[in-house]
Amino acid sequence: MARVRKAVITAAGWGTRFLPATKSQPKEMLPLLNRPLIQYSVEEAAACGVDLVVIVTSLGKKPMEDYFDRSFELEQMLERQGKSQQAEEIRRLSGLADICYVRQKEQLGLGHAVLTAKNVVGDEPFILFLPDDIFEQGKLVLKQMLDIHEHRKGSVISVREVAEAEVGRYGIIKPRKVADRVYEVLDLIEKPKIGEAPSRLAIMGRYVLTPGVFSAIENTPPGRNGEIQITDALKRLNQKQPMHAYEFEGELYDAGTLLGWLKTTVALGLKDPSVGPELKSFLRDRLRD
Ligand code: G1P
């Protein structure tokens, strides 16, 4: 597996879909079970062995920085109360990865958010995480993507087949199959209309990108919604460098909408041994009503 030293996590959005819950707290701090959403991506990046996690933030995101910092008072209080396992978990959090934060000062789109990490990432490949997308097998998916990056060179994006009616919610690729679950990317289009999509293979929130993406973004004009789209920049990059897509296995949860967040919470809850069995019988009872 190729070793990639840096990960970028975009966390600068306003979280308007969750208002008013996100009025005074970052969307990325909404809990999925007992962990905030952002932690799933940070843990996944750490599990892939990156040295540095770059989180793109904006105004009002400071609670995220505090979350990954040490909290001596809390640790000591837990120790005093004999809750050493919890104290250990709190300590573990701050040691997960070296994290640095860059600010996206204007909300000009996902591509623009990625561009703000340019100087910290420098001239090397990196993993991009869209933290709303929770991959059940995240580490495994990225391992496969890093293998493809190593053997076929260039950027690698994660895709999965979606229903025809859903293509307008995603970036869609035009694929040419080159191996089991691996496609050469011939073209990309952001949120096409039904009937205009070149396939049903939709881009999901994990990418292994070459640093060439930064100049591609710099040369990408605003697209859909007047925003600088990462998919448009990848289309540009694809004309210069090889690009592949990996059709991953395992569940993907989209925690970026209210309904998606609820579904993710229930799905993760059902798998959690401490709450799963009771949650299951609760849901059974409810569904009977
Ligand atoms: C973004 C990307 C899109 C991708 C999606 C995956 O869209 O622009 O290409 O398919 O993430 O979650 P968003 O969900 O920010 O609208």
pLDDT tens string 149-190: 999 999 999 999 999 999 999 999 999 999 999 999 999 999
- Shortest-distance atom of ligand 1 to CA 229: 8
- Shortest-distance atom of ligand 1 to CA 254: 12
Is residue 66 one of the residues assigned to a domain?
Answer: yes
**Mean pLDDT score, 9-31:** 94
Give buried/exposed letters for 92-122 (b at 16+ CB in 10 A, else e): ebeeebebebbebeeeebbbbbbbbbbeebe
Is residue 250 one of the residues assigned to a domain?
Answer: yes
**pLDDT tens-digit series, residues 59-111:** 989 999 999 999 999 999 999 999 999 999 999 988 989 999 999 999 999 99
Total count of domains within the chain: 1
- Shortest-distance atom of ligand 1 to CA 133: 12
Is residue 277 one of the residues assigned to a domain?
Answer: no
182 lines ligand 1 (CB under 6 A): no
Which residue among 133, 141, 170 has the greatest number of ligand 1 atoms within 8 angstroms of its CB, and so is best to mutate? 170
Q: Report the separation in Å between the CA atom of 171 and the middle of ligand 1, taken as the mean of its atom positions.
A: 6
Is residue 270 one of the residues assigned to a domain?
Answer: no
Give the three-class secondary structure for 178. Answer: strand
203 lines ligand 1 (CB under 6 A): yes
125 lines ligand 1 (CB under 6 A): no
pLDDT at position 1 is 65
Residue with structure tokens 């600010």? Answer: 103
**Mean pLDDT score, 8-29:** 94
Is residue 262 one of the residues assigned to a domain?
Answer: no
Q: Report the separation in Å between the CA atom of 185 and the middle of ligand 1, taken as the mean of its atom positions.
A: 17
Give the residue from 36, 13, 56 showing the smallest Cα distance to 265: 36
Q: Report the separation in Å between the CA atom of 167 and the middle of ligand 1, taken as the mean of its atom positions.
A: 11
For helices 72-80 and 84-94, what crossing angle results, to 10°?
A: 160
Residue 183, token pair as written in the block: 């496609």
Q: Which CATH number belongs to the domain containing residue 192 in this structure?
A: 3.90.550.10
Which residue among 9, 161, 169, 189 has the greatest number of ligand 1 atoms within 8 angstroms of its CB, and so is best to mutate? 169
Model pTM score:
0.95
Q: 196 falls in which pLDDT band (50, 70, 90)?
A: very high
Contacts 24+ apart (CB under 8 A), 277-286: none
171 lines ligand 1 (CB under 6 A): yes
Within 8 A by CB and 6+ apart from 170, the residues are 162, 191, 202, 203, 204
Is residue 289 one of the residues assigned to a domain?
Answer: no
Mean confidence (pLDDT) of the chain: 95
Q: 194 falls in which pLDDT band (50, 70, 90)?
A: confident
Is residue 272 one of the residues assigned to a domain?
Answer: no
Share of the chain above pLDDT 90, in %: 91
Q: Report the separation in Å between the CA atom of 204 and the middle of ligand 1, taken as the mean of its atom positions.
A: 7
Which residue among 27, 28, 56, 110 has the greatest number of ligand 1 atoms within 8 angstroms of its CB, and so is best to mutate? 110
Is residue 60 one of the residues assigned to a domain?
Answer: yes
Give buried/exposed letters for 6-17 (b at 16+ CB in 10 A, else e): bbbbbbbbebeb
For residues 268 and 69, give the distance between their C-alpha atoms in angstroms, rounded to a whole number: 26
Domain that includes residue 202, residue range: 6-256
CA atoms within 13 A on the CB side of 1: 16
| Contact (Cβ atoms closer than 8 angstroms) between residue 6 and residue 50 | yes
130 lines ligand 1 (CB under 6 A): yes
**pLDDT tens-digit series, residues 199-235:** 999 999 999 999 999 999 999 999 999 999 999 999 9
